Structure formats: structure tokens, C-alpha cells
Copies of this chain bind each other. A is one copy, B any other.
């Protein structure tokens, strides 16, 4: 991971919507100084706000790695992207990708990269030898962001809390559990890509015992209420052994992401189940606050949504990205 050269060009492919490009979007927001621009194919419906660039000119501007910053459901590398990826290799780029399917398993890419001396980074695929989780108490403090659904702001919230803590001079580190987070943090492990038996163990490995005053701010994944991914969320919750949870929520979602017939859980229900399950490995585990993605609202609308949820749950409720995470940090044990 640490060898991936920046600056990056962010490849958005033919992303069906903006959420599909959330990897590119996250890198653009949290590491704008590492990004020369974005590269989009016809039909792309995502936009990071970075300038659209071409491979050749971006290379002259310093870019050295093409980041595949877009996800299809299921993690397939589409045939439409292949021509661009081959051009990038020809043009001097390494490629980094966070999908399930591996660049290294596509013969035309692997052969071209080998012939040209380029590198293909499949950041979703952990290379570390993992052990199963043991649930034993360990020193240091840990916060985990959890959610009512996928793509509800768990990574942004953890990064916002890290920023706030560092501004206060606290010892804190963002711990990445997904491909975007890894590209932002420079390390981490994709917990949804490990062998299922090792989910909790992977999180224990990622967040080992540390100083009593140090906070690990762990990026959550999925939701205990998501029929596709809840197993990952539960293993993450147990492995995190969290002293504090922050519940992340996207209030305009009409159904669980990718599951048109599945309703979102209520916040109270979701808080209760996360606390109940989290207490298996840390009896003090509790939700200390709510982070709401209010991107769909103007300032007045956002305030109304946040006040409503705060009244409903009795917990400090902020949009950690929009407003900063000060109230969440104030609420920590």
C-alpha cells in the first residue's frame, strides 16, 4: 500500500451515479493535493469536482497512478474500462484498484503491466496473514462508526473525528477498513475482502493495543440491517471492541442501498442492536452520537433534520463533514 505513487488520476469510468464513484470522491475530498484530476468515460454520471484530464497531459503534470475510483455492484471490472486501463499502462501509469475482482487476474492487464514494468495494486486483497479474533480486552480507546445502511457517511465521519481530535492535540488515528479509506490513510485492511472467519481478527490486527489515551477511529462498513453485508458489520463490531460508537445515517434514503424492497431500520432499533452486539466484546460499548449526511439539504433544512433526530434519540446529532465533529468528540467517555 505505502508504495502507491501519487499524484493520482481518478478514473470514474461510466459510473451509474455519484455513489458508485464514492472511492474517487473520498480521495478527492480528503487528499485533493494528491489528485491531478479525474478521467470519465461517456455516460459517466459522477463528478468529483476535480478537472477532467487526459492521461497524457496529466502524466506531464506529474500523475503516476491511475486510481480506479468507481464500483459496480459485486465488484466487477467492466469490459468498457479495459481500453482505458491499457492506455494508462502504455502511458507510464501504475494502476490501483479497490474492487473485488483483481487487476492482476485480467490476463491482458497483467501481461501488459509485466511487459512494461508497471505495477497493479489490488488494494482490497489483504496480503497479511490473519488470525481469528480472540475478543480479549486491550489497551487504548477505540471508536467505530456504524450505520443504518451502507454508504451513510461512516468513513467521512471517522475522518472528521480524526481531524477534530488532531486539532485538539489528541493522539488519534483513522483506521481504514475499505478501499477508499486505505487510499486516504496510506494503509489499512478491507474487512469485507478477508476470508469470512477472519473478519473480527482483521479488525483486532488493524487496531492493536496502544496507549491508554490514544483513540483509534475505525471506519465502519455496511449495517447490521443490510441483508447483503451484515456479517461484515457484526464481525467489525466485535473486533473493534469499541468504547464508543457513532451512528451514521442518510435521511433521504427510501430503501437499503442495493435492495429496493428493504426498508431502513429505525434509529432507535439500530442503536439498540449495535449496542447489544457490541457489548459482547466491550461491556461499556455505547452509541455516543449521531452523524447525519445532510448533503441533500440547505442549511435550514439540515438544522431541522439534525434537531429532529437529536430530539428523537437524545444523542448529540451533527453532520460531521459539514459542521465538524466537535460535539461528537465532546461526548466521548
Residues of B within 8 A of A229 (CB): 132, 197, 200
- Which residues of A201-256 are within 8 A (CB) of B? 201, 224-225, 227-236, 238
Q: Are A231 and B228 in contact (CB-based, < 8 A)?
A: no
Q: Which of B100, B131, B132, B259 contacts A197 (CB 8 A)?
A: B100
Q: Are A135 and B262 in contact (CB-based, < 8 A)?
A: yes
**Interface size class, chain A:** 35 or more
The answer for the CA separation of A306 and B247 in the assembled complex, in Å, is 42
Q: How many copies does the complex hold?
A: 2
Interface stretch of the complex, out of A8-16, A89-97, A108-116, A187-195:
A187-195
Q: Are B227 and A280 in contact (CB-based, < 8 A)?
A: yes
Q: Are B228 and A133 in contact (CB-based, < 8 A)?
A: yes
A74: interface (CB < 8 Å): yes
Q: Are A261 and B136 in contact (CB-based, < 8 A)?
A: yes
Q: A195-B196, A230-B234 are in contact. List 16 more A-B contacts (CB 8 A).
A: A133-B228, A134-B227, A134-B259, A135-B227, A196-B235, A199-B231, A201-B228, A224-B234, A227-B281, A230-B235, A230-B238, A230-B280, A231-B231, A231-B235, A231-B238, A232-B235
